[in-house]
Amino acid sequence: EVVVCAGFMQEAAMRRAAAEFPDVPFVFIDGYPLSDDAGNSLANVAGISFKEEQAGYFAGYAVVKEGFTKLGFSGGGGGTNPACCRFGYGFVQGANAAAAELGVQVDMNYSWEYGASFQASPDLQTMITGWYDQGTEVVFACGGSMFASISAAASATDGYVVGVDVDQSSQAEAGVVVTSAMKGLSDAVQWAVAKVYDGTFSEIGGTGTSLGVDDNAVGLPTATWSMANYTVADYESLFAQVAGGSVKIDDNYENLEQDYSNLTLNIK
């Protein structure tokens, strides 16, 4: 009655299946609108994406407010995956904003190296261990199984990690994950599938829908984070400012390489 596919790597298979079964609704999580081989839009595919730049912003802002000034970002997809790019750019913006408020300077290592396949690897762990050894305090592990290598490096060097997509606090030693930049994957599935059964799937079929703070679809896990200085009240205030529009977050990650007022970006 409905097929849910999660992740851009399912695109080719889903395009073929959706074209063959035009009466079956397909939900493409972390996806986008699709067309058949003739270039016709597939009206039975709903592309659901997220405003990852907002989640990344919350995480970058939080860790700097917590007191970290030596940050790292290690992303998956080789710099071509839009979701990871939005996460990273948001992380930079949030860190810079918090640093400006505190009147401090922040340094950030920023790399797509060893993340093309989103997999853990000895090379990735070695690189991140080097970052920690050279003073990096916390690294945003933005890329699936890459988390295993980055959290292992953190555990070995008394470093810290920011998780991605879901609350990853339970996937590393206690206290290593300071917070996670989350998006509501399961909630988005439920929301989209509900439209199949209430007869409103046509509202999202054939189009792309991006979910963010207005849909309560991105955020930080306040119940499990391991921060002592940045409070839940602080976070809720920032969330309300983003939702209300008084804090603006740029979603165009092509603007990443710019001059920041209180952050030095070291792209590796």
Average pLDDT of adjacent 10-residue blocks, the chain of 268 residues: 93 96 97 94 97 98 98 96 96 98 98 96 98 98 96 97 96 95 94 97 97 95 96 98 98 97 97
User: Can you state the angle between helices 146-157 and 122-133, rounded to 10 degrees?
Assistant: 40
CA 224, 87, 31: angle at the middle one, nearest 5? 105
Radius of gyration of the chain (CA): 19
Residue 8: the pLDDT is 84
Please state, as a whole number, how many other Cβ atoms lie within 10 Å of the Cβ of residue 24.
14
User: How far is the C-alpha of 104 from the C-alpha of 138, rounded, in Å?
Assistant: 17
Nearest-angstrom CA–CA distance, 78 and 146: 12
Do 49 and 210 meet the contact criterion of CB atoms below 8 Å apart? yes
**How large is the angle between the packed helices 232-244 and 52-66, nearest 10 degrees?**
140
What are residue 140's DSSP bridge partners? 73, 162
Question: Exposed, middle or buried: residue 39 (CB in 10 Å: 0-12, 13-18, 19+)?
Answer: exposed
pLDDT, position 142: 98
What pLDDT score does 161 carry?
98
Under 8 Å between Cβ of 77 and 84: yes
Rounded Cα distance between 97 and 172, Å, is: 28
| pTM of structure | 0.94
DSSP assignment of 176-234 equals: TEEEEEEE-HHHHHHHHHHHHHTT-GGGTTTSEEEE-GGGT-EE--TTT---SSS-HHH
